[in-house]
Structure 1
Amino acid sequence: MKKLSGYLYDATRKMGKAASTVNTIETIASGDPKKIAKRLVRYNVNKSGHKATNSVLTKLLKKL
């Protein structure tokens, strides 16, 4: 059985992802090409950064 903290964690993750999606939709709907480009770059940089960090941590944890 899952603890209350697990349910709260899952709920906050879903709300954060939903907020990010809404932010992206609002940026695209604005029609401002500079905002759209900045958002796309920021998204891709963050995604690649998280992927690299996750990869390094996975390798470190396997060694332990």
Structure 2
Amino acid sequence: MSTVTNLNRFRKEKARAERRAEADGNAVKFGRTKAQKALEEAQTARARATLDAHRRDTPE
């Protein structure tokens, strides 16, 4: 006699695996570490400060 299989369990496991694979793909595509975000923010702030320091004020 064969054992009873719960098809819902297999369906849910397959859905979880698909979501996990999609999440991994998004992490590779969009994910950045906290350190990378902080570095980029610091570089942007430094570039903005450099541009502001070299700005010429027009006499009015």
Classify the TM-score, shorter chain.
Answer: 0.3 to 0.5
Greater share of helix: 1
TM-score normalized with structure 1 length: 0.41
TM-score normalized with structure 2 length: 0.43
Larger Cα Rg: Structure 1 or Structure 2?
A: 2
Structure with the larger RCO, 1 or 2 (CA within 8 Å, 6+ apart): 1
